[in-house]
Structure 1
Amino acid sequence: MKNKYYPHLASPITINGVTFKNRIFGAPMSNPELDVDCNMRQEDIAFHENRGRGGLASVAIGLGIVDAIGRSHTKEIKLYDVMSLPSLKEAANAMHRHNCKAVMELAHGGKFGNARAHSNADGTLIGPNDEVNAAGLPVRSMTEEDIYRVADCFAQGAKLVKEAGFDMVLIHGGHGWLLGQFSSPSMNRRTDQWGGSLENRMRFSLLVVEKVREAVGPNFPIEFRMSGAEYTKGGYPIEEGVEMAKMLDGKVDIIHVSAGVHEDLEVFTYTHPSMFIEHGYNVHLAAEIKKHVKTPVATLGGINDPDMMEEIIASGKADIVQVARQSLSDPYFPEKAFSGNAADIMRCCRCYTCFFNYLTNRTFCCAFNPVIGNELQHKQAFPAATPKKVIVVGGGPGGMMAAITAAERGHSVTLYEKNSELGGQLLSEQYIPFKQDMFHFVKVLKRRLEHAGVEVRLNTELNAKQAAAENADVVFTAIGANPIVPPIPGIDHKKVVGLEALHHATPALGQKVVILGGGLVGCESAIYLNRLGKNVTIVDMKADWAPDSYFMHKTAMAIAMRDSNIKIYVSTKAKAVTEKGLVCETADGEVTFEADSILLAAGMKADRAVADSFYNTAPRVFETGDCIKTGRVVDAVTTGYYRALDI
């Protein structure tokens, strides 16, 4: 019987004898941390299990490394070590508890490995050519003996994965990993049978597929991940990607079409699409390849809407949709979609919070989902020991999350918001096209407040005296922050406006806009206003623009601004506002930037005086959001959630 909400997306698909319960597969996500022996910890297994619990047909664990010399960092699962079996078996069992198929990615870093992680004596990496990689490490051209040895390593890794109880292996042949290094014309400069023509460049990948098939047998699914196009200078286009797929057709069971090369930071924002490009950016690659092969084709790349997923399957662009970041934002979105509760899905906003934390803090994290990275502690519910009366002062994301969490645990919660709408600073995102997923977060939180039974009182500014009179057991102060207003002459001029000017479908701004503040908010606002046809200039006293942004997001912003007329002036100090515009001091002297409107985006400052006034208004007083310290949505949401668990 077909699902009445998403009949194509919810339909099962059988791949080489293995039936997957629907068409939403969990794309590979690797582990930022493991134990000292590179085995998965209970925390890591709980993370992957949580992705599987919510309705994904499969979950792929990323970067199982098949050869010691192929490790790209120190924390990757060692598929060349039989001692990896126990934790792998436990991971597979965890998936199976939820009727979710377990998949392991087989990979080799090749020339992009990190010699410090290797056991090889001389510290030399291997790849298609003799060279020195971008990190300054020597790379040795692989001999034919090396090529066959590594192909056997893939096979032995696949055999280990099957023994562990996994349901499918995924061979990583894209993104500039070793097999992709051989298939890429920009990275493979060999002149023997392993380089030159596409047939020769694909020979290594096909050898690996052959060896893996021998190892796992005929009735075990093999998925092959490839870049449909590399998007890099000298890399192959989709036309060559089609030919590569035709060579794989019938030899593997799923052709998984991704894009790009990881080592190119700009291309990274297309492999993992940023918020500045359309959803489903890479789907066209899979759609083109599907026209030429009989093997089922999978697509992925920043897809977060089940309606779009349904259309992809229904229209025949692909047979399978794979997701990674969306399964962090809301691991339960498949179940919600298939049960008619799609309105409650928290959509990934492609902000790169997850990537930043993975690469720098070595943790799983999501701006919208405070449970991510802490799944082990949250496997059981947290009911309230004694229901209490709770007041939340402030309806931004931190206050809303605190109210929802407290109410869901059984407390009686009332939320007071001084404005006519909930959302706090996120209200600025309402009409910005590339921030719609961020604003959707607000809409989902509003819906959850209602379902949790939270009493919401808008247009009500509750002060400390009034809060104390409520005789609550707990008071949450989530009053937010105030914009920083530089103390310069003319700052109160009528042409100076705050971010509230963006709270309207048509911002009340003139044609020439000067943005005072070149941080993340100012730069995103500049991109938005420029796309509305405004002439935008950004000025900031710091030496760099958007220093508060994640480096991946900053790269995406740079791409979005590349072909615009946005002008950025750093090391530029505002001195005064005049009828003509903004007077600034630069290294070359005083300059006046002509402006019809000056948008104030100089940052926010916590309102400590008001926050401090709420001390002792209840037996327990918690703070959340920007009243503690101005920061990101992830900080407000996480703090609100965990403070509510402390009640």
Structure 2
Amino acid sequence: MYETIHSPLNYGGLTLKNRIIFAPTSLGLPREEMLERLRRIAAGGCAMIIIGDVPVLPHGFGPSLYTSKGQKFYREIADTVHEQGCLLCAQLHQSDSDLKGMIRYIPGVLTKRLSMEELRPLLNQQVGPYITGLPEKKIARITQVFGTAAELAVQAGFDMVQVHGDRMCGSFSSSLFNHRTDRYGGSPENRARFAVEAVSAIRRRLPELPIDYKLAVRQENPHYGNAGVLESELPVFVPLLEQAGVTSFHVTLADHGELSDTIPPKKHPEFGQEGCFLKFCDEVRNLTLLPICGVGGLTDPDFIEQQLASGRIDCAAMSRQLTADPDWPNKVFSGHAGEIHRCARCNKECLGGMMAHRGVHCIYERKETK
């Protein structure tokens, strides 16, 4: 039972011991608590952990790959995860926030008068003008530094990199944000150029490194997501990214809307079902033979086994479920699937904790401490 979940996979040149991946997540936890959380998830049996939002520029938000302190931090994560027989992937991230425009909001954030939920739409309003107005020389510098960041990630102990196809890559991809009239704007081919150049920069520096791409898909009718790639544009973007050097795709809904759309609760009007974003994987599957990782409300071992066995997806990524129960893989593999703490998709302590600056937690943790 659950033979496919338990089976190894060649994921773009990297051998995964099974098909379960911890999806990239901004945990928002203190250092020691974060290390222990990642240790527990790795010990629980998943094949790989993706560390979300690793900045590609020296002065991005979060621990820097360019400093000895940042290298030490990421090396400690790598050692902690590897000791449990789990692989580690760095999600290389470039913010599309206008730093000058953000300054006015910093006091409110620091004093917690301004919540993340309130800050998000204010920042999103600035994305279009910022992306449209970036000078070409600065664009070239940013795309090239993806290669430098990937080299530094490997030095820190990461086994793989994922290019964050939302944020700046996704905003350049989106006709809603990208109003440029030069070679980075207009046609889908031009709007794909930023992402293609970022991937190409990594491939030139590291010819053998597996490169995952978080492919953020924008849906219309009804409209969800503002960054990323329209479903109708996937036949343009997927081949270009593959030619640039992408070795696998992590497919999900585009961001820059409500966080409760990209992290949907069970009561969500469009994405409340199990495997809510797998329909986007179906469209990508028709365009490539590369491995595809599905994500979105995945909790049920029987459902996941069916999707994997059918070839609909090659891997299943989870964040909330492995936060609710890090031992999900081991319980499934040992015949104790009935003992899993199933994620209720309530978003109370995971998304809610993040938005309230408490970090990502779970209602089960609260119950266990009573």
CA distance in 2, matches of 1:50, 1:241: 37
Question: After superposition, what is the alpha-carbon deviation per residue over 1:305-349, rounded to whole angstroms, capped at 9, x for unaligned?
Answer: 111111111111111111110001100011111111100011111
**What residue in structure 1 maps to residue 211 of structure 2?**
222
CA distance in 1, matches of 2:27, 2:240: 31
SS at match of 1:208: helix
**What residue in structure 1 maps to residue 65 of structure 2?**
79
CA distance in 2, matches of 1:357, 1:213: 37
Matched, 1:275 2:275: no
Question: After superposition, what is the alpha-carbon deviation per residue over 1:24-66, rounded to whole angstroms, capped at 9, x for unaligned?
Answer: 11111124145xxxxxx23221111211110100001111111
Match of 2:8 among 1, 7, 12: 12
Question: After superposition, what is the alpha-carbon deviation per residue over 1:366-396, rounded to whole angstroms, capped at 9, x for unaligned?
Answer: 001x2xxxxxxxxxxxxxxxxxxxxxxxxxx
**What residue in structure 2 maps to residue 53 of structure 1?**
43
**What residue in structure 2 maps to residue 315 of structure 1?**
310
**8 A Cα contact 1:186 1:233, kept in partner:** no
> How many Å apart are 1:359 and its aligned residue?
2.1
Matched, 1:253 2:239: no
Match of 2:179 among 186, 189, 197: 189
**What residue in structure 2 maps to residue 200 of structure 1?**
190
**8 A Cα contact 1:274 1:350, kept in partner:** yes
Q: 1:304 to 1:244 in 2, by over 3 A?
A: same
Q: 1:281 to 1:83 in 2, by over 3 A?
A: same
CA distance in 1, matches of 2:146, 2:90: 12
Q: Across the two proteins, how many residue pairs are aligned to each other?
A: 341
**What residue in structure 2 maps to residue 325 of structure 1?**
320
Matched, 1:106 2:101: no
In the TM superposition, what are the counterparts of 1:399-414 in structure 2 within 5 Å?
none
Letter in 2 for 1:12: P
Q: 1:93 to 1:284 in 2, by over 3 A?
A: same
- The structure with the largest strand share of the pair is 1
**What residue in structure 2 maps to residue 153 of structure 1?**
145
Letter in 2 for 1:168: M
Identity rate, percent: 30
> How many Å apart are 1:152 and its aligned residue?
2.2
CA distance in 2, matches of 1:257, 1:234: 15
Letter in 2 for 1:292: L
Letter in 1 for 2:316: V
Q: 1:16 to 1:298 in 2, by over 3 A?
A: closer
Q: 1:21 to 1:134 in 2, by over 3 A?
A: closer
SS at match of 1:151: helix
Match of 1:240 among 215, 233, 239: 233
In the TM superposition, what are the counterparts of 1:600-639 in structure 2 within 5 Å?
634=366, 637-639=367-369
CA distance in 2, matches of 1:32, 1:233: 23
Match of 2:202 among 212, 215, 225: 212
Q: 1:173 to 1:363 in 2, by over 3 A?
A: same
Letter in 2 for 1:240: E
CA distance in 1, matches of 2:83, 2:202: 27
**8 A Cα contact 2:12 2:248, kept in partner:** no
- The structure with the largest helix share of the pair is 2
The TM-score, its normalising length taken from structure 2, stands at 0.86
Letter in 2 for 1:218: P
> How many Å apart are 1:293 and its aligned residue?
0.2
Matched, 1:173 2:165: yes
Give unmatched runs, 5+ long, in structure 1.
Answer: 35-40, 118-131, 371-633, 641-647
CA distance in 2, matches of 1:21, 1:102: 13
Higher relative contact order (CA 8 A, sep 6+): 2
**What residue in structure 2 maps to residue 28 of structure 1?**
24
Letter in 2 for 1:223: D
**8 A Cα contact 2:292 2:313, kept in partner:** yes
Which structure: larger Rg? 1
